[in-house]
Structure 1
């Protein structure tokens, strides 16, 4: 009995580890590079980095107004849970989440203002 319990535990651990190592392609987890670059240009031109986080998040949100609504925006894969950004379409939650992540990213040094860094902040908010 004890051996089968240990074997079951090890099998479950191995399956979990294999799934955790799986990664989705970047083109799946980040969509909207053109919109990201447009937001970056506005952030630089309007010096959003100097604003308090609340005003910065509002500025990013205002810049994203007009983005099309996309339902089920968190469902990008049915096997792998992954942080994701889609700046071409979002629902009310991902709209706020994207605005906050972009605003937080602006606290970092400008050379690290990348889609990967924005995904990091999505992951921090979504999975901490």
Structure 2
């Protein structure tokens, strides 16, 4: 069994939340990070991704499955149990996401200043 996901995995100060580029959509990189340690259920993903609505998370997971980044495995149990896990293609994004997070950490102040300046424009 894998360790529980932290509800603070993506807190407001996390560089991933201000990443100026996205893989697929706003949430894909975060889902990739959540699945790095192994398969997860939808409810487990909701813990650190609490800001995403269930509908949007479901759409993100479907898109990722369509693109071959994750696999969805439905167990033949009662009640039903579904888990999501990274494919080798999805796992290949971990290096890219790590590099993007590092870049965001190194340039976080500049990004925030630029966004503030943009918002202050008339």
Q: TM-score range by the shorter chain?
A: under 0.3
Bigger share in helix: 1
